[in-house]
Amino acid sequence: DYVSPWEAGINRFGVSGVRLGGVIALLTNGAGVGMASIDTIKDIGGSVHSFVDMGALVYQKEAMTEIITAIIEEKPKAFLFSFFFQVASCEMIAQAVVEAVRLTGSKIPIIIRARGQKLQEAQDVLSAIDHILLDDFTEACVAAVEAVK
């Protein structure tokens, strides 16, 4: 099976990543959330650029920052983060997002659907960049699709 250089770079972190050719980058903390996001985005007329399931890397800010940076450098037209953390910290993913946006200077729309631990702290961190933070899964998918129209 062929693995592109981009996919190999993402996969070296021990996570699953795939390029899909659309315009919305998608980063989640579970394959189920990812598949539901891809289906919802397609159902409302959008297309997914790339999908990465962070798995256990949600506990490693530096690795998350590198992966987010690599995805941004691929130039998707929007970036949807969809996370539901029962144990991991929303604040840590927020820090990784802000750092990657600053490193790349990216101006692409950032849409974040987050629930879980340290959500208020995450909101404080995210105030450093332009973003849309939503609680509802479907609303987040719609916002991502609308952002690229």
pLDDT tens for residues 19-73? 999 999 999 988 899 999 999 999 999 999 999 998 766 668 898 999 999 999 9
User: How is residue 67 written in tokens?
Assistant: 């992966």
pTM for the structure as a whole = 0.92
Contact at 8 Å (CB) between 87 and 57?
Answer: no
Q: How far apart are CA 7 and CA 16, in angstroms?
A: 8
- Bridge partners of 18? 51
State which H helix or E strand residue 61 sits in.
helix 61-73
